[in-house]
Amino acid sequence: MRALAWIALGFLFACCQTPSFAAERPNVLMIAVDDLNDWIGCLQGHPQVKTPHIDSLAARGTVFTNAHCQAPLCNPSRSSLLSGFRPSTTGIYALQPGMRTVTRLKNHVTLPQAFTQAGYHTFTCGKIFHDGSISAADQPREFNQWGPAPGMPRPTKKFVETPAPHPLVDWGVFPADDHRQADWQIADAAIAKLKAVPGDRPFFVSVGFRLPHVPCYASQKWFDLYPVDQLQLPPYKADDRDDLPRFASYLHWKLPEPRLKFLVEHDQWKPLVRAYLASISLMDSQVGRVLDALHATGRSDETIVVLWSDHGWHLGEKGITGKNTLWERSTRVPLIFAGPGSAKGARCSRPVELLDVFPTLLELCRFEQRSDLEGHSLVPQLKDAAAERPWPAITTHNQNNHAVRSEHWRFIRYADGSEELYDLRTDPNEWTNLAKDAKQAETIRQLAVWLPKQNTPPVPGSASRLLTYENGVATWEGERIDPEAALPD
């Protein structure tokens, strides 16, 4: 009798420990996109863009129309989303170092690690963490399985000779066969995994697409979607930066991405915009392939799909291309949830952050909520898009430079104390800086309350695209910025 009792207890214990809770917890398919701004149909960021698959996903879920990144740069943005901490908390501002080399994050349980530890079958392919930021020794603690993360195919010679030459800063028709594209191969890996995931436990599959990150290459059929003679360029105002503080230009002091002046002088503005749009549509087609594969598994109804981009991208606005700013074009990103727990066909205009993805997935998958995360669950807004939300979205680029985005306002304060303020209701292009308008003093006071109180110095190993400001001296990547030097144009 005692032996039978021990057997029964052992069986009960095993049942409690075995991660066979597929019927209790939903699956997660997380799709990340690299350098995609709001130029998708459901965000109406560009009137001609064609993204039918992402738009279809938005139609069966909730699209957040006022979502913003934590940093306008790959490594700090992705490190923030996956750790649940702000860049101003961790000190990760540059393209280096990897998050696991940072003392505070060495043993921190990341978003994928939380699902791996909970018994989910976890898989990643493409770019989820910033390339090379997780060592081979650390990879198994994040995901059960790491799939391929191919780089972009490149021609033998660049198509466009840009200033400050960089091999990735290029655009044009290439290659002729879409199967050679990194995003096609990444989609192939995700599709194969979705077909093979175990049926006895839930899965967490993450897919990181590379386009429309430069080089903006696509085959001719994607360019044909955007005829040159009909192409609409983004809005631009020649004197747009005349009312900006000097420090605003320090955030993008020396970059490989070309300025608008170069594009205009070399007749490359339309070709770049066209290539960016073509790259978006190609990437969207691969999102569609993955979503179709999920549907074919028969597990779509029990799978949360979340799609996000790490930050935006300028295409001439403010006279620049690329990211590395605290303006709307650089911070506004797609964020879509669909599946269990999300209303269908909903649009939420509350300000939200990529930092909110981590706690939202934990709540949707019925994990215990964690007090160490700095984001806030979006579950109330997934149930009711009009639900109140007291927090604004905060974007940080290098130490003590922050943007606070509320439902209607953008407030920026730089490390030297200079400021910008925009009313997005009347000035969606952020052409008129209201920071010196005495009538807006109370608005600034209310928004400034949300500026991060902690501004951790850059962690050791920080280098590329690093701006520092100490004792009145600004330095870019270790080189002092002459306060009398001409601003880059």
For the question of residue 74 being annotated catalytic, the response is: yes
Q: If you compute the radius of gyration of the chain from its CA atoms, what whole number of angstroms results?
A: 23
Degrees to nearest 5, angle at CA 30 with 315 and 346:
75
Measure the CA–CA gap between 311 and 332, rounded to whole angstroms: 7
For the question of residue 130 being annotated catalytic, the response is: yes
As beta bridge partners, residue 412 has 403, 420
Least Cα distance to 353 among 375, 379, 373 occurs for: 375
Q: How far is CA 10 from CA 1, 14, 15, 224, in A?
A: 14, 6, 9, 64
Locus of tokens 């809770």 = 21
> Is the preceding peptide bond at 340 cis, omega within 30 degrees of 0?
no
* Active-site residue, selected from the candidate residues 46, 121, 130, 402: 130
Q: How far is CA 278 from CA 50, 213, 227, 272, 349, in A?
A: 9, 12, 11, 10, 28
Measure the CA–CA gap between 288 and 348, rounded to whole angstroms: 23
Measure the CA–CA gap between 360 and 358, rounded to whole angstroms: 5
Measure the CA–CA gap between 10 and 78, rounded to whole angstroms: 42
* Active-site residue, selected from the candidate residues 46, 53, 68, 74: 74
- For 78, phi then psi, to 5°, come to -70, -40
The catalytic residues are 74, 130
